[in-house]
Amino acid sequence: MPESAYSGIVNSEGIHNHNDLDTVVRRFVDKLLGQGKTKPDSADLIYINKQFDKYLGKIPASFMYKGKTYTPRSFALQELDFNPDDYVEITSYTHHPFYKPFVLEDKYNWTFDEYYNVPLDDFVAITDNALQNNDTVGWDGDADDPYFDYYSGIAYYPYSIADYQKLRQDDYEDHSTLLNHMMHIVGVEEDKNGRKWYYIKNSWGRMTNHLGGFLFMRDDYFKIRTVAIIVNKKAIPAGIRAKMGL
């Protein structure tokens, strides 16, 4: 829905603050897991929806947009040029065959989604091709690394790395890399030394750093700490897409 129809803000702060909602939902999920449940029943869903209504506001049954009446579903179908089936999740790890999908071993992948696995060079090429063709890229990765300095608007490693694929794999296996955050890559630039930097939008608010909520991530940090990307299938170079069977 457009924000004019549903802002999702009901608190007195006038900004998105999901701390209380996150706490309520996490405790409820822990309770379900403690009961041995793997799927919420109808009563559980009623409770969950009540919490969302409380902390985000009730979803309007219908609303006006540019002089026309929509429901949330009709707006999505008629106004948004978006099909979730056009998007794939891609990663790069050596403990599974390349160019094949596998279920990523991560605690947040509770839906057992399959991620396409490609060599790191292809992983970077897919990202760059998407950005160069005016597509954006979903970023899933580690934002807790000491060299992820969001408040200074920068993420990079101050030392050289000999083998990115090996270090990436080692850090994934020993849990030095964790999937703990998601962001939105919207651009890429080179500095005066020819180093690549990705321009990334975070979700922590415009006033949280001097770049208005964005940061620059150098290619070395991207290669090591990006667990996965989400892209439109058409943004994948044709040769790589053929190898992936897409």
| CA atoms of 73 and 225, how far apart (whole Å) | 36
Residue whose C-alpha is closest to residue 190's, from 164, 223, 219, 153: 219
pLDDT band at 29 (very low <50, low <70, confident <90, very high): confident
Is residue 13 a part of any domain in this protein? Answer: no
Whether residues 109 and 204 share a domain: the answer is yes
Whether residues 234 and 126 share a domain: the answer is yes
pLDDT computed for residue 159 by the predictor: 95
Whether residues 123 and 195 share a domain: the answer is yes
pLDDT computed for residue 205 by the predictor: 83
Domain boundaries, position 184: 84-244
Whether the Cβ atoms of residue 197 and residue 188 lie closer than 8 Å to each other: yes
pLDDT computed for residue 112 by the predictor: 85
Task: Give the chain's domain count.
Answer: 2
| CA atoms of 107 and 112, how far apart (whole Å) | 10
Average pLDDT in the 115-139 region?
Answer: 97
Whether residues 98 and 32 share a domain: the answer is no
pLDDT per residue over 168-210, tens digit each?
A: 999 999 999 999 999 999 999 999 999 999 999 998 888 899 9
Is residue 8 a part of any domain in this protein? Answer: no
Q: Report whether pLDDT(214) > 90.
A: yes
State pTM to two decimals: 0.84
Whether residues 45 and 139 share a domain: the answer is no
pLDDT computed for residue 39 by the predictor: 83
What Cα–Cα distance (Å) separates residue 165 from each residue in 33, 150, 202, 226? 36, 25, 26, 12
Q: Of 60, 79, 98, which residue sits at a domain end?
A: 79
Whether residues 203 and 129 share a domain: the answer is yes
Mean pLDDT (the chain, rounded) = 94
Whether residues 61 and 99 share a domain: the answer is no
Whether residues 117 and 32 share a domain: the answer is no
Q: Report whether pLDDT(13) > 90.
A: no
Average pLDDT in the 56-74 region?
Answer: 95
CATH code, domain carrying 109: 3.90.70.10
Average pLDDT in the 6-32 region?
Answer: 89
Whether residues 214 and 237 share a domain: the answer is yes
Is residue 5 a part of any domain in this protein? Answer: no
Q: Three-state SS for 121?
A: helix
Is residue 70 a part of any domain in this protein? Answer: yes
Whether residues 164 and 226 share a domain: the answer is yes
Whether residues 62 and 92 share a domain: the answer is no
Is residue 126 a part of any domain in this protein? Answer: yes
pLDDT computed for residue 11 by the predictor: 81
Is residue 143 a part of any domain in this protein? Answer: yes
